C-alpha cells in the first residue's frame, strides 16, 4: 500500500510540474526579434545583390518572379560544369 501511495504522489508531483511549466511558458513575454532593412550592403555581383534582396524579402520572395529567375540562374551556374583547364582533354 505504501508503494502505491508513493507512486501516486510522484505522478501527481510530475503532473503539477508539467502544468506549471506549460503555464510559465505561456505567460512568458518574449521580445519579437524584428529585423529591419535599413540599407543593403553594396555587392559587386548583380546576381549576389539580387539574392541578398530576396533573402531580405523573406516569405514574400516565394511570390516574386525576379527572385525565382535569380534562383534559376544561380542553380544553372552552380550545376553547370566549369570548362576544364586541362590541355589534354
Stretches where the chain sits below pLDDT 70 are 30-43, 85-89
pLDDT score for 46: 87
pLDDT score for 20: 95
| Exposed/middle/buried for residue 70 (C-beta within 10 Å: 0-12, 13-18, 19+) | buried
pLDDT score for 21: 93
| Domain extent listing, the chain | 39-80
pTM score of the predicted model: 0.46
Distance in angstroms (rounded) separating the CA atoms of residues 64 and 59: 9
Distance in angstroms (rounded) separating the CA atoms of residues 4 and 12: 12
**Rg (Cα) of the chain, in Å, rounded?**
28
pLDDT score for 88: 63
Amino acid at each position: 500500500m505504501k508503494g502505491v501511495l508513493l507512486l501516486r504522489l510522484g505522478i501527481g508531483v510530475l503532473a503539477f510540474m508539467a502544468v506549471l511549466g506549460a503555464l510559465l511558458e505561456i505567460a512568458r513575454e518574449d521580445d519579437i526579434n524584428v529585423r529591419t532593412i535599413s540599407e543593403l550592403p553594396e555587392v559587386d555581383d548583380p546576381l549576389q545583390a539580387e539574392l541578398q534582396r530576396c533573402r531580405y524579402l523573406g516569405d514574400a520572395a516565394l511570390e516574386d518572379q525576379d527572385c525565382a529567375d535569380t534562383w534559376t540562374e544561380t542553380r544553372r551556374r552552380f550545376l553547370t560544369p566549369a570548362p576544364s583547364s586541362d590541355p589534354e582533354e
